[in-house]
């Protein structure tokens, strides 16, 4: 039986999880890794607009939370690959639903922006 959490409570540990999932670049990194392991440079190329510093911070945070696995194959130059852990893979369904919602409702959100700006 799983423990019941109340995300509205300030001390609820699930807030930390939601904060990570809602972080600016998490969705993009998890989505990029959905197709399989990638090296840092490939991730940087695949995710337009992310800086190396932010990508490093995001990968470390996701690794810390158990969502991403990091494998160092050694050698020179270094050969490190990142992949989704089993826990990270469990996020793909929910993130796909959010992404689909966002893509479906872009026109509605843009219309709301115009209405707001007209006031």
Q: Is the pLDDT of residue 84 over 90?
A: yes
Q: How many distinct structural domains can be found in the chain?
A: 1
The residue range of the domain holding 99 is 13-118
The DSSP H or E segment spanning 69 is strand 68-72
Q: What is the pTM of this model?
A: 0.88
Flag whether 8 is in a domain.
no
Strands (E), 33-96: 38-39, 68-72, 80-84
Helix, strand, coil fractions of the chain, as percent rounded to 5: 55, 10, 35
Q: Is the pLDDT of residue 2 over 80?
A: no
Flag whether 7 is in a domain.
no
Q: Which two tokens stand for residue 48?
A: 């337009």
Of the spans 13-27, 45-59, 68-82, which averages the highest pLDDT? Answer: 45-59
Mean pLDDT of the chain: 95
CATH of the domain at 105: 1.10.10.10
Flag whether 5 is in a domain.
no
């Amino acid at each position: 039986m799983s423990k019941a959490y109340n995300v509205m409570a300030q001390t609820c540990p699930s807030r930390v999880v939601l904060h990570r999932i809602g972080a600016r670049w998490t969705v993009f990194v998890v989505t990029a890794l959905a197709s399989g392991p990638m090296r840092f440079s490939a991730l940087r190329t695949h995710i337009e607009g992310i800086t190396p510093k932010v990508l490093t911070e995001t990968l470390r945070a996701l690794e810390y939370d158990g969502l991403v696995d990091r494998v160092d194959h050694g050698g020179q130059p270094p050969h490190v690959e990142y992949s989704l852990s089993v826990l990270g893979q469990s996020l793909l369904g929910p993130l796909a639903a959010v992404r689909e919602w966002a893509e479906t409702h872009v026109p509605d959100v843009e219309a709301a922006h115009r209405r707001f700006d007209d006031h």
